[in-house]
Amino acid sequence: MKKIVVVLGCLLGMAAFNNVHAENIRLDDIVVTATRSGVPRSQIPTTVTVITEEDIKERNASTVADVLRETPGLSVAQQGGPGQTTSVFIRGAESQHTLVLIDGIKVNSPTDGGFDFADMNINDVERIEIIRAPLSALYGSDAIGGVIQIFTKKAHASGGSVSYEGGSYGTEREDVSTSLIKDGYDLNLTASNLKTTGFSASKAGTEKDGYKNTTISSHLGMTAGATGRLDITAHLTESKTDLDGFNVDEPNFQQHRQWNLLGINYNSSFSTNWNQRLSFTNSDDEFVYTGDNPWNRGQFSTRMNTLNWQHNIHSDEGSELTLGYERQQQHGDIPGAYNKKFTNNAVYIQDQRGLKSSVQLLAGLRWDDSTIYQSAFTYRTGITQTPAEGIKWYAQYGTAFKGPSLNDLFWPEDLFALGNPNLKPEKSKGWEVGTEQVMSANMTVALSYFANTYEDLIQWIPNSSGKFQPQNRREASSNGFETNIVLTADNLVRLEGSYTYNDTEDRESHFYLQRRPLNKYGIALLLNPAGDVRMTININHSGRRVEWADTNFDGKPDQEKIMSAYTKVDLSGSYKISRTTELFIRIENLFDVKYEEAIGYNTAGLSSYGGLRITL
């Protein structure tokens, strides 16, 4: 293992490099999320990761969280096995500071502000775009650390597929999809069913915590008039998860969830240089908790409706002006606690223009006006230069904010806690510089350096009555660098290596921020990635991470609990029996390493899975 790390370090020191995932950088690739309109990667002044459907198949990945774990700059914490709460941290920011979009639909919870990746089905994912930079100037609240946008599958050709997978912990998964293209419309339908008996989520427990997930999604696209197109996305997930308390078994503690998404998008052109996009999106989430402990029983629901009207105006010289208006209504209902909703109106503008043939400037700003917390003004500015083919240098500076959640503002007074309607939004500033270089047809390398500061962070601390109440009092910082290299050899071997150094600090306690490793690296060796027989070896290392303890119960962290560093090795492979039939296998945690992503919660040991995929 040490020899592998030394070799990788030598390779990373050969040139300047940034972040790619599973393929060589192509600067002409079109990326949507970074600018809200598709532009070439060469014009984006920030770090981008694009994960394609082919990348997911090469690794036989089982969850979206597993794919994100391999991404530089991201750390993932899962509180147990399948279905358990799964959080993602971008460059030291809180997990609630990651804005998550699914086909443009905002899915962060109005009640706590975050997004739980536990129920996100990977078999319906066509593409993931990850932007690691403050992006509130485009997306408003929650985009402090960055934005993760998941694009579900669309019909590109008529056909279908079925697959079955079984393996450790009583796991079974069935997937079916079909696509149809005909007479001006295209339709894709996907259905998935997963069940597993699992293992105890709590490290102190022995009872198995099972999980069931059924997901159905669809995408319908059709022409609308001479220049228009209408796209409708629908998504339904129903899941049941056995839960545990912290360091204790809860045999009958369960979470039942029903999650619905709807997106309606209309695109049209006024002229060759002017197009518009009008969209309405809805996210409904309902949770029901059952169990023997009365403190665990209850339910809550959330709803988020968003209307967005965006215009893109292009010039013949290649510049683009983006203008938009967004209205969003969020609603949270916790029976016996509160039933609250609020509205946010926002306008945004962004200008991208070429200074010279090789220099692209970007500037944007946004004004958000909320009915329950202070208005926010955010901005970003950036520059890219492509001095030669296959080389990009870039720099960006931006500000961002996150509004208080409904729990923060309106939690009813009880024995222990009380909400605070006077909270201000959390704020951040961040900058980065970097480069992406295609050194040859067989080698891409990159490097980025980033620095972020966070102010007015919300922390629950005791008030004068001794009850925990949220206050704007914490400040924190995060800075570091990310590196990545991809080497290929005649389509027979591909070697990928990445390293992230992320130095975080809570400025009051001077502790590292929770669950963010100082060092993280990954190595992937893909053998015959384009052939009928494929194999992938993944080595992922996470350095020591901490969680805080408040032993004095005064709201101030005064003790760090250390989670040890670990290195995990996974294997996967596939064999094409015919043009339409493929066998696949996956072995996770090959050396049965014992590790934690969250203190007090178990992780899977050595486990194996295999299945059959048929494409029609």
Give the model confidence (pLDDT) of 212-257 as tens digits. Answer: 999 999 999 999 888 899 999 999 999 999 999 878 888 899 999 9
**Mean pLDDT for the stretch of residues 54-76:** 91
Per residue in 36-57, pLDDT (tens digit) is 998 999 999 999 999 999 889 8
Q: Give the span between the Cα atoms of 91 and 114, in whole angstroms.
A: 16
| pLDDT for position 304 | 97
Q: Which of 123-127, 325-329, 597-601 has the highest mean pLDDT?
A: 325-329
| pLDDT for position 19 | 33
Query: Other C-beta atoms within 10 Å of 491: how many?
Result: 11
* Predicted confidence band of residue 559 (pLDDT cuts 50, 70, 90): confident
Instruction: Dump the DSSP string for 153-209.
Output: P--SSSEEEEEEEEETTTEEEEEEEEEEEETTEEEEEEEEEEEEEEE-SBTT--S-E
| pLDDT for position 44 | 95
Q: Which of 376, 372, 455 is nearest to 419 (CA)?
A: 372
| pLDDT for position 6 | 40
Report which of residues 605 and 29 the model is more confident about.
605
| pLDDT for position 95 | 94
Q: So where are the chain's domains?
A: 2-425+438-615
Q: Give the span between the Cα atoms of 515 and 125, in whole angstroms.
A: 27
| pLDDT for position 225 | 83
Percent of the chain with pLDDT over 90: 77
Report which of residues 496 and 16 the model is more confident about.
496
**Mean pLDDT for the stretch of residues 51-79:** 91
43: tokens are: 């014009």
347: Cα within 13 Å, side-chain hemisphere: 1
Domain at 2-425+438-615, CATH class:
mainly beta
* Predicted confidence band of residue 552 (pLDDT cuts 50, 70, 90): low
* Predicted confidence band of residue 490 (pLDDT cuts 50, 70, 90): confident
Per residue in 398-444, pLDDT (tens digit) is 999 999 999 999 999 987 899 999 999 999 999 999 999 988 888 99
* Predicted confidence band of residue 18 (pLDDT cuts 50, 70, 90): very low
Q: Give the span between the Cα atoms of 42 and 230, in whole angstroms.
A: 29
* Predicted confidence band of residue 320 (pLDDT cuts 50, 70, 90): very high
On the question of pLDDT at 15 being above 90, the answer is no
On the question of pLDDT at 8 being above 50, the answer is no
**Mean pLDDT for the stretch of residues 252-273:** 95
Percent of the chain with pLDDT over 70: 94
| pLDDT for position 9 | 44
